[in-house]
Structures are given as C-alpha cells and as structure tokens.
Amino acid sequence: MIWQQLVNGISVGSIYALMATGYALIYSLLGFSNWAHGDIAMVGAYIGFFFVASLHFPWWASLILALLGAGLVSLLSERFAYRKIRNNNSPTMFLMISAMGLSVAIQNFVLVTVGSKFKTYPQILEVKAISIGGIHIGLIDLISLLGSLIVIIFLNYLINHTKFGLAVKAAATNMKVASLLGINVDKYISLVFLLAGSLAGLSGVLLGMKYTIYPQLGNYALKAFIASVFGGLGSVPGAIVGALFIGLMEVFVAGYVSAGLRDLFTFSLLIAVLVIRPTGLFGKDIQDKA
C-alpha cells in the first residue's frame, strides 16, 4: 500500500533529518563537512543505552543525558580538534582531515572500551503497531516521527526567529564582519556544535531503539550527508527536505525493487546531484546559508 510506504519513509527520513540539520548548521558556519558527526550520534546511542540498560534510569532521563552527552562531546571536538586550525586560518581541507581523524579515534575508543558486540536497547515501549485509517505504524516509529517533527519545528523557530539564529546567519554570511559588529563568533560556533551534537545524539538513540547499536553506527550519517548535498549544503530546510526524500526513496526501492539495491540508489543520487546540480535542490549560493 503506497500510503503505508509513505509513512514508513517519512519515519526513517525524519531520523536522517536530525543528523542532516547538524551537518548543514556546521557547514554553514565553517564550510566543511564534519565527518565525525555520525560518530557523535553513535556516542549518544551508547550513552542512552548505558543509563537505561546498566543503571536502569527512566527512558526519558536516559534520553536527556544522551542528548547532553553527545552535545558535550561535539562541543569538545570543536574546542580541541577544530578551533586551533580555524584560528590559524588554515585551509578548510585541514578541518576535514582533522574530522576524519577524530572519527577514527572515537570509533576505536568505543571498540577498546565497550567492545564490538552489537547491543540492543531493552524494551522501553510496547512492541505493537497503531492503525490509522488502514495504515499501520509501529509505536517506536510514531515516537521517532513525532519527536523529530517537534525538534525540527523548534530548530526552524530557533534559526529564523531568535537572536541566536540571527547571529548564526550573520556569522555564516561573513564571519569577519560579524565579529566586527560585536558578535562573539567563537561562542556561537560552540553553541552550534552543542546543538548539532544534541540532534545527532537524539538520532543515535532513535536508531538504537529501532535497530541495534555498534561502533560503526555512525555510518548511517552518510545518508544524512547525502541528504545535505541533495538539499543544498549549508541549507537547514534543504537538509530536512533531502533527508525525507532519501527516507522515502529507500523505502520505495526496498519495497518495490530490491532491498539490496537500496544503498545503490542512494549513492547514485549523490553522484547525480554532484554532476547535474552541485548546489543541491535548493540551489543555495555559498553566501546564502543557514
């Protein structure tokens, strides 16, 4: 049933959107793709699992701690892995190399300390499907969809209707001019990394509840990166639209073509966008970001 597939695709795409918006926010400010972003999501998934499975915290408290923990790791990564490079006015490529190194370091740290075994979240919600007009949606999928929708609406409000959003847009347009106008650029970059890390942590927990968690869970962020490229790097609305499109495409390919070809279609889309429309769906100019 096509409506069923639409719901499933939007549910998956909404989780990708949480990661993709983090990519877009960081790119809009610093002009590089944070390859360690997916590993921040993986860290959030493990933090949530630790508190809910080992310490038996309530699920809502574990979720909050996972968001805070992932946000803190993201904040520290900006402070110690990226800021010195940025202040030295080094080429953007240096930031990407640092991000790749940080990604490997985080994955290996988790492998050494936690191990490589797959872990499954304890049953937090009832395993049942809710039927709405003949469309069946799992309770976890419904929670993921609604939670992601609320967060995305809040993020849109934060960027477009607050002082924080105005400062981020100013810094994204021209960081030097924003600094001359009295905007503490370092402060807002740190806040963006904190926010992006928290969003990644939320997506990691949702992925962990839906599937399992393991040190390479952050590889799911590749889909979020493709969504950002498809929507237009640096554009938060574009990242959201791109993520929903990727989620829908994967579900329809798996349902009507072959599950084994799902990733082939996704990465073929990336190549097509880079060749045909490098600026992405929204065609954002390099100076018109966030």
CATH of the domain at 259: 1.10.3470
Q: Give SS3 for 24.
A: helix
Percent of the chain with pLDDT over 70: 94
Domain assignment of residue 215, given as a range: 2-276
Question: Which tens digits make up the pLDDT trace of 23-59?
Answer: 888 888 888 889 999 999 999 999 999 999 999 999 8
Residue 197 near residue 75 (C-beta atoms within 8 A): yes
Does residue 290 fall inside a structural domain?
no
Q: What is the arithmetic mean of pLDDT over 209-231?
A: 88
What's the pLDDT at 205?
93
Does residue 282 fall inside a structural domain?
no
- ∠ at Cα 217 (216, 220), nearest 5°? 115
Q: What is the arithmetic mean of pLDDT over 169-176?
A: 86
Q: How many helices (H) and strands (E) does the chain have?
A: 12, 2
Tally of structural domains, the chain: 1
122-126 contacts at long range (C-beta below 8 A, 24 or more positions apart): 122/52, 122/53, 124/52, 124/59, 124/209, 125/209
Does residue 239 fall inside a structural domain?
yes
What's the pLDDT at 127?
63
Question: Which tens digits make up the pLDDT trace of 56-79?
Answer: 999 889 999 999 999 999 999 999
Does residue 268 fall inside a structural domain?
yes
> Is 118 buried (19+), middle (13-18) or exposed (0-12) by CB count in 10 A?
exposed
Does residue 28 fall inside a structural domain?
yes
Q: Specify the pTM.
A: 0.88
- ∠ at Cα 229 (225, 235), nearest 5°? 100
Asked whether residue 6 carries a pLDDT value surpassing 60, the answer given is yes
Least confident of 61-65, 130-134, 151-155, 253-257: 130-134
Does residue 48 fall inside a structural domain?
yes
Does residue 284 fall inside a structural domain?
no
Does residue 286 fall inside a structural domain?
no
